[in-house]
Structure 1
């Protein structure tokens, strides 16, 4: 599991007083940086490999300015050339959002997907989410 701490900004707070729903996908993407680095170690957009195919976010509870938010990212599935991530955002011990993102390892020069290299696959496997029984959050196994 990867973990990132986000400090909510005033500018992300909407007129209802909570962090705007459009902000959460941006936070989730920020927490994926270690995964992006596996595929493109030099962070070069010329060599960029990770192309997003799908994202979804379920909003579970409100998030507020003034308290840190914790983002947890797991690898849910690893395919030949794609991977699915499972993500959660927590604030003050409350699950506030959860989602999934699907990426493909893509070669911009050939305009085709490529198999995920073995060394990257091995690293991703260290972060695989293992389902728990019941409706517990995966983060409950950490605490």
Structure 2
């Protein structure tokens, strides 16, 4: 378990994700993070973001991504993608991630992604809804507004 993280999603590296060096091609790590954030909302927070987006209540888009590669995953590795919300602003949420090979403790990748709360009906950013903020803070076990 990654220290300070309450949620992870497990996935296996597939053949189509490796490159000529027989390691995961760097862009696929973004896909792994995207899968994990989707599961964080669906499984961890028990929120149906698709329905919320269709109703115009809440969705989120990427504003900034920072990746720090520390190692390489290989074909058939089982990976745990850990994610947590570290900060909630007025209209943004900062998420932290670690990707760790199963049975190991050292991250292969550390990432920070800033998401902006977005209304798909108006196609404009919006404040993070109170019910989303409350659900995240309850799940994470602490106040995240700064």
State the TM-score, normalized to the length of structure 2: 0.77
**Structure 2: segments with no counterpart, 5+ residues:** 1-5
Moved over 6 A (4+): none
Partner residue of 1:66?
Answer: 76
Shift of the alpha carbon at 1:121?
0.7
Partner residue of 1:27?
Answer: 32
CA contact (8 A) 2:61 2:118 kept: yes
Matches within 5 A, 1:1-143: 1-35=6-40, 37=42, 38=47, 40-42=49-51, 47=56, 49-91=59-101, 92-93=103-104, 94-125=106-137, 126-127=139-140
Q: CA RMSD in A?
A: 2.5
Deviations 1:61-97 (A, max 9, x none): 1111122000000101101111000000000413100
CA contact (8 A) 1:40 1:49 kept: yes
**Structure 1: segments with no counterpart, 5+ residues:** 130-143
Number of equivalenced pairs: 130
CA contact (8 A) 1:51 1:104 kept: yes
Structure having the larger proportion of residues in helix = 2
State the TM-score, normalized to the length of structure 1: 0.79
Shift of the alpha carbon at 1:115?
1.7
